[in-house]
Structure 1
Amino acid sequence: MFKTSLITTLLLGLLSGSLPCQAGTSDAEAVNRAGMQRMLSQRIAKTYLMIGTDTRVDLAASQLDNSIAGVEENAQWLDEYAADRDIRKALNEATDTWHQYRQLALTRPDRSQSAELLRLADRLLSQSEALVRKIERHSGNQAARLVNRSGRQRMLRQRIAMLYLAMSWKLAEQGLRSDFDAAVNEFEHGLTELKESPQNTAQITSQLEKIDTQWRFARAGFTLADDSRFVPTVIVTTSDSLLRKLEQLTLDYERLAGSAR
């Protein structure tokens, strides 16, 4: 399974390398794609832990393959976009980490390797965050901040699921619970910030209301973890459903940012 994923990824990389350079690339799309790298850093770790905990393994294998291909595609796009030296430097640092992370993510999940995997996932997250901020500053577009914030929400939803799975697997890494609680709280604050934005359209407001309703339902399942009663399949399912809504929300903000240029 993992060898097949690697071959698929390499073929996609070769094909994407033959594509013509994109013209007139959008700063808002660059923020979205760099932000997507944040999310994928957590999603890949989540799928690794899904396989390790025997949670919807077939789905996890498919998500892992697609996520790795997504990182490769976004990296190619951002390499063509890189607007200045600072952005190029940040992209190169993230790419170096990605090569190490990809290699480990494609191995069979093992408890003894989980600490290193989570460390690389966090490093790629941090470097991708730095890249997003540099692109946002370069754009000078206020609406690009909303693309960033919405994109960070989708990352947080994957991070929450990843940390939940790590706790359910009873990994020995320190700080899992505090990191989980911090991610849940940040998601709450981010959702409030987006709901209060005066730039929201009627469509965005409606989408945010649906996300808020589903989030409340998903959060109710977290309380079971307090009693060490984990429901990973439920958390993974709600995480994926929310991710689809957050992807659409981020695209809506991207279009809003494009119209504001």
Structure 2
Amino acid sequence: MTSALAYLNAPQGSHPLVADMESVGIQLLAPPLKCGNLVQEAILHAPDVVICYDPLPSDELFKSLQALADTAPRPVLLFTIDGDTEMLDLALACGVHAFVVNGYGRHRLRPLVHLAQARFAREKALRDQLADLGSRLEERKIVERAKGVLMRARQVSDDDAFQMLRTASMHTNQRMGQVSQHIVHSARFADCVNRAGQLRMLSQRLAKLYLLQLAGMSAADATERQSQSLQRIDSNIAFLAKDLSQPTFGDLLTQVSDSWRALKAGLQAPQQASQMLQIDTLAEQLLAHAERLTDVLENAGAVAPLHVLNVAGRQRMLSQRYAKFAVLGLLGDRATQQRAQAGMAETRAAFEQSMDYLRDIPLSSPDIRAGLAVAAGHWSQMLAGSAPLKPGAGLLALAANSEGLLEAFEKLNALYEHSMQMLVG
């Protein structure tokens, strides 16, 4: 039996709709409704059809029918005496499937209900087809984006990238669109994790360069690297502000930006030995905020290999932090020297623990292993030259090895970020 809800805009008992429904085998699930209750009752009863009688339909009825179409779509049959064409267009736009003008009759009730149901089913089929077509188009766009990621990362052709996607799809028993979405998602977060991680390193590099200049290093050399680092931080913050969701990450990025403004102002002021501890404190604040942002991005990416990228990126920061503390100990008083020694010991332990981790994980390649060997060489030389650090040649060697170590891990990060294992997790 067909079930129905009814809306009747007529004095009670003056219209035969309710009695006629029962006589032709249409079950009324509730007494005739008020206009404002249509959606609530439709959700509650889930009728096969909604039948309305309103001689002159109002805006309130059409708003209710639109809400019904948006919330709990059902076939709608509307009897009226208003044959205005604009009213017809409005009714169809609001989800009315049979708009009957001056045509009410008990003998016509069932055929018109069937007409409304048939049109509703047809519209639903067309909407489903349209949604499926839209989904396929979106999937195709995602596949193309994923192919682009793989082509850049693996230096392969369009056909080879497509074959990689097919292979991954078969091995994981997922649609190619799902695999592609995962790759695009992973690549996006890999880039954000890398850029946020660079902010950690640059905070320490800038403090190191400030101290090296105070210690008598070539001003031109340090100034050029300082200028590059300043531009790099500005560029990375602008990229993250554009790429990340402000409601999700905006508060963390604001902390990074605020701490960067304070450090930047200190670095651009005339250099003074009396300000070196203040510069170090501001650099540590930027480091803490960038570290928090990087860790949150790693977790938000929900891809396990992002942790590898985070660890490798953190090594860049630790290389600069160790060199910074070594120069700070050279320039400072006894209390500052003690602070520097503690910082060097902490940084060394963290760096070497991460090196052991990176050597042992299965995510590797001949290029990665060679890069780790180069980094280990620079690290050994930096340790040897900093215990204790001596002015002149010792300072130059420390600066060179810290930059060499940074360059080695920049290359390693690119290898980790672009590896196939990183992209597909």
The TM tier, using the shorter chain, reads 0.7 to 0.9
Match of 2:368 among 199, 204, 213: 204
Mapping for residues 1-261 of structure 1, pairs under 5 Å: 26-83=188-245, 85-171=247-333, 172-173=335-336, 175-225=339-389, 229-230=390-391, 231-256=394-419, 258-260=422-424
Aligned amino acid, residue 190 of structure 1:
S
Q: Distance in 2 between matches of 1:243 and 1:122?
A: 18
Greater shift, 35-44 or 180-189, is seen at 180-189
Identity of aligned residues (%): 25
Query: Residue 26 of structure 1 aligns to a residue in which SS?
Result: helix
Q: Distance in 2 between matches of 1:213 and 1:176?
A: 23
Per-residue deviation, 1:218: 2.3
Q: Distance in 1 between matches of 2:355 and 2:326?
A: 20
Unaligned runs of at least 5 residues, structure 1: 1-22
Pick the structure with more helix per residue: 1
Query: Residue 142 of structure 1 aligns to a residue in which SS?
Result: coil
Unaligned runs of at least 5 residues, structure 2: 1-183
CA contact (8 A) 1:164 1:232 kept: no
Q: Distance in 2 between matches of 1:209 and 1:113?
A: 37
CA contact (8 A) 1:26 1:258 kept: no
Alpha-carbon RMSD across the aligned residues, in angstroms, is 1.8
Aligned amino acid, residue 351 of structure 2:
F
Q: Distance in 2 between matches of 1:170 and 1:93?
A: 29
Q: How many residues align?
A: 236
Q: Which has the higher contact order (CA 8 A, sep 6+)?
A: 1
Q: Would the alpha carbon gap of residues 133 and 84 (structure 1) be closer, same or farther in structure 2, given more than 3 Å must change?
A: farther
TM-score normalized with structure 2 length: 0.53
Query: Residue 271 of structure 2 aligns to a residue in which SS?
Result: coil
CA contact (8 A) 1:56 1:233 kept: no
Q: Larger C-alpha radius of gyration, 1 or 2? A: 2
Q: Distance in 1 between matches of 2:382 and 2:275?
A: 29
Q: Distance in 2 between matches of 1:61 and 1:53?
A: 14
CA contact (8 A) 1:46 1:158 kept: yes
